[in-house]
Structure 1
Amino acid sequence: MDPLKNTIHIRAKALELGFDRCGFAQARMLDEDARRLEEWLKNGSHGNMGWMENHFDKRVDPTKLVSGAKSIVSVIAGYRFAENEEYDKNHPVPKISKYARGRDYHKLFKNRLKHLFRFTQDLIGDVNGRIFVDSAPVLDRAWGRLAGNGWIGKNSMLMNKTHGSWFFIGEMILDVPFVFDAPETDHCGTCTRCIDACPTDAIVEPQKVDGSKCISYLTIEMKETMPEEFKEQLGEWMFGCDICQDVCPWNQKSEYGSYEDLKPRDQVLYPPDRKWSEITEEEFDDIFEGSAVRRATHKWFVRNAKIAEQNLDIE
């Protein structure tokens, strides 16, 4: 087994499959991330996302997910597209976060990672491992940082000089060694634009986000009556939020994505000729087939749409 040769070939295959970057990290216990996660949970920053408390040991120790794990292969693919920016600039209507305007990346990434995993098995032989696309208790951003795919920004997003934070993450956890990448250094400097721009003050300090106040949490995870104090702060957002990413200087000069399936769909940008809050459940299912927006369900999506329409004075 030649770790250097395997690293070179697998990285090349990942890029051939359409991923924008592929990094390699040594599997180990994430001691510092474990401390931060424990504190975050203890403070109740996960809101009603009780599932975040489950499988704590697996989140911070990859050997609990793959026996004998030696490596994490972290891949990313960008989703910045000119169509989104043109739409946001010219359409003062309730908004869906840009990551959810195209096909749900989970299926797309999973299929590509399956190809990469089979390639790895053919190349090396006896390989035990698993692929993950936000589908198990894996700290994607932590492994992405350790694999050299970026640094953790002040809004807690993984970001790099090429793609800012406009990208999705997936990984393979394997029981074979590679030549590991060095973590990328922090390039946020003294900039605090993401912190200053957050209308709910969810970014309580650099790299620490109170998830229970984040607009993405409020519009996606909160399956209950919206607290009055947050309604006006939602602004135009009815699913997710891009504010802290839109203001980031790195994002404003990042490269555009290449995955066609991640581009915004016309039916998402241009719904039936009436208010979003008036679409039926059947229309919701048709418009958002294969989309991450289905996570909100019709009931709560309509709730969010009504709030955004009120904030925008849409009659």
Structure 2
Amino acid sequence: MNDNLSALAVTIKAWGRELGFADVRITDVDLAHAEPGLKAWLDAGHHGEMDYMAAHGMKRARPAELVPGTVRVITARMDYLPRDAGDEWRARELKRIQDPSAAVISVYARGRDYHKVLRARLQQLAERIRNEVGDFGYRVFTDSAPVLEEELAGKSGLGWRGKHTLLLTREAGSMFFLGELFTDLPLPVDEPVTAHCGQCRACIDVCPTQAIVGPYRLDARRCISYLTIELKGSIPVELRPLIGNRVYGCDDCQLICPWNKFAQRAVIPDFDARNGLDSASLVELFAWSEDEFNRKLEGSPIRRIGHERWLRNLAVGLGNAAHGAPDSEAIVAALGARADHESALVREHVAWALAQHHKQ
């Protein structure tokens, strides 16, 4: 039976590559080493309004409690850098951040919703396993439910956790998605890899809001990805100037990471940029009606925040554009058109943005 399971593990990894995953590994479910850190992070309130993080408590570190019968986790990574990203993609992204009129959206969010892509392909992987071994217990996850993805991925040997808390690999940096298949099959496990961050702290130093409060410690309440995606209400006034022109997410800690010179292009078209989200201006996106927002971003991860928060984020960027944008009149006109928006949240951020321009 052990020989059969070893052969099955090899086959599963080959199937994973056929399905577009760059790497597939296997680990057991013992994450006891991660529990103290998780508890300290929650106790410090670093999860902010992400109540679901605290609601499940230590279950995040106990896969067998989440899915009874689980003895192994098959972890997988899928590269998401767009297929047409040139060799100078990092320089291009950094240049856009310096353009106050540009709307900067995280690279991962410019194409199709990764949740749907990875979940569908992990489901296909599970079906192939079922065809091989018959019925077996499993459940698929992709950035969903209380799963400590980076810890499982790190333990399985997919990579190591960087100081920015994201997973890193020598072969592909960090520009990839993670997915998991919890299973009751007692497959042989893979060994972890060693960490290779050394003394580097580039990600800590570059963070615009200093959300990385120490190596491997992120205060989500200050993180631009949290502020523009997870936070439902008003963005703290003191943090607004630090957000710059970042509308949805933030890639700074990844762009500065030396390992991302090895980032790999996606092998599927799903993550190619849509609707010009790699080159749009703040004014252009701010003009989208709610219908346009919903239609153009159908199948996009961005749609989850809704049009109201989309306008909130763009208003902050437009306010920050008071410092250096050449088209200030067009920006003020765009903001003025939303000054009486039905949403109090939008009105508040538009008023703040207009105030930045009136200071100039």
TM-score by length of 1: 0.94
Q: Which residue of 1 aligns with 2:261?
A: 252
Deviation at 1:279, TM superposition (A): 1.8
Q: Measure, in 1, the Cα distance between the counterparts of 2:200 and 2:53.
A: 30
How far, CA to CA, are the matches of 1:273 and 1:106 in structure 2?
A: 26
Aligned residue identity for 1:226 = I
Matched AA of 1:18: G
Question: Is 1:71 the equivalent of 2:76?
Answer: no
Q: Equivalent residues in 2 for 1:144-223 (5 A)?
A: 144-223=153-232
Q: Distance in 1 between matches of 2:194 and 2:92?
A: 34
Deviates more, 1:30-39 or 1:194-203: 30-39
Q: Which residue of 2 aligns with 1:3?
A: 5
Distance 1:226 1:113 in 2: 36
Cα RMSD of the aligned pairs, angstroms, is: 1.8
| Whole-angstrom CA distance in 1 between matches of 2:268 and 2:318 | 31
Structure 1, unaligned runs of 5 or more: none
Does the aligned pair in 1 maintain the 2:165–2:217 contact within 8 Å? Answer: yes
Do 2:23 and 2:158's aligned partners in 1 also have CA atoms closer than 8 Å? Answer: yes
Q: Is the 1:277–1:303 contact (alpha carbons within 8 Å) kept by the matching residues of 2? A: no
Q: Find the counterpart in structure 1 of residue 147 from structure 2.
A: 138
Once residues 46 and 57 of structure 1 are traced to their aligned partners in structure 2, the CA distance between those partners, rounded to angstroms, is 14
Q: How does 1:52-91 map to 2 (within 5 A)?
A: 52-81=53-82, 82=85, 88=93, 91=96
- Residue of structure 1 aligned with 2:133, choices 111, 121, 124: 124
Structure 2: runs of 5 or more not aligned: 326-330, 332-360
Shift of 1:280: 1.1
Decide whether the 8 Å contact of 1:268 with 1:288 is kept in 2. Answer: no
One-letter code aligned to 1:141:
E
Residue of structure 1 in register with 2:351 after alignment: none
Q: % of aligned pairs identical?
A: 37
Deviations along 1:66-103, whole A, 9 cap, x unmatched? Answer: 22211100001011231665863665302111110010
Distance 2:90 2:206 in 1: 18
TM norm structure 2: 0.83
Residues 87 and 179 (structure 1 numbering): CA distance in 2 closer, same or farther, change over 3 Å? Answer: same
Alpha-carbon distance, 1:149 to partner: 0.4
Contact 1:76 1:168 in 2 (8 A): yes
Residue range with higher mean Cα deviation, 209-218 or 269-278:
269-278
1:272 CA displacement: 9.0
Q: Determine helix, strand or coil for the equivalent of 1:131.
A: strand
Q: Does 1:233 align with 2:234?
A: no
Tell me the alpha carbon deviations over residues 169-203 of structure 1, each in whole angstroms, 9 at most, x when there is no partner.
Answer: 10111111112111111011110000000121110
Question: Secondary structure of 2:254's match?
Answer: helix
Residues 267 and 287 in structure 1, CA contact (< 8 A), matched pair in contact too: no
Mapped to 2, the partners of 1:64 and 1:212 lie a distance apart of 28
Structure-2 residue corresponding to 1:281: 290
Q: Give the Cα–Cα distance (whole angstroms) in 2 for the partners of residues 122 and 182 of structure 1.
A: 27
Q: Contact 2:103–2:245 at 8 Å: present in 1 too?
A: yes
Q: Does 1:20 align with 2:22?
A: yes
Alignment-derived partner of residue 47 in structure 2 = 46
- Are the counterparts in 1 of residues 283 and 318 from structure 2 also a CA contact under 8 Å? no
**3-state SS of paired residue (2:129):** helix
1:122, distance to aligned residue in structure 2 (A): 1.7
Check conservation: 1:238, 1:305, Cα contact below 8 A: yes
The 3-state SS of whatever aligns with 2:239 is helix
Give the 4+ runs in structure 1 shifted more than 6 A.
none
Q: 36-45 or 275-284, which moves further after superposition? A: 275-284
Q: Are 1:194 and 1:245, in contact at CA under 8 Å, matched by a contact in 2?
A: yes
Deviation at residue 311 of structure 1 after TM alignment? 1.7
Equivalent pair of 1:161/1:254 in contact (CA under 8 Å)? no
C-alpha separation in 2, matches of 1:85 and 1:201: 21
Equivalent residue letter for 1:4: S
Change (3 A) 1:72 1:278: same
2:35 aligned residue:
34
> Cα deviation per residue 1:124-147 (whole Å; 9 max; x = unaligned)?
224111111122111111110011
Instruction: Tell me, in whole angstroms, the C-alpha distance in 2 between the residues paired with 1:259 and 1:242.
Output: 21
* Alpha-carbon distance, 1:273 to partner: 10
Provide closer, same or farther for how the CA distance between residues 123 and 274 of structure 1 changes in structure 2, counting only shifts above 3 A: same
Instruction: Classify 1:112/1:104 alpha carbon distance in 2 versus 1 (closer, same or farther; 3 Å).
Output: same
Larger radius of gyration: 2
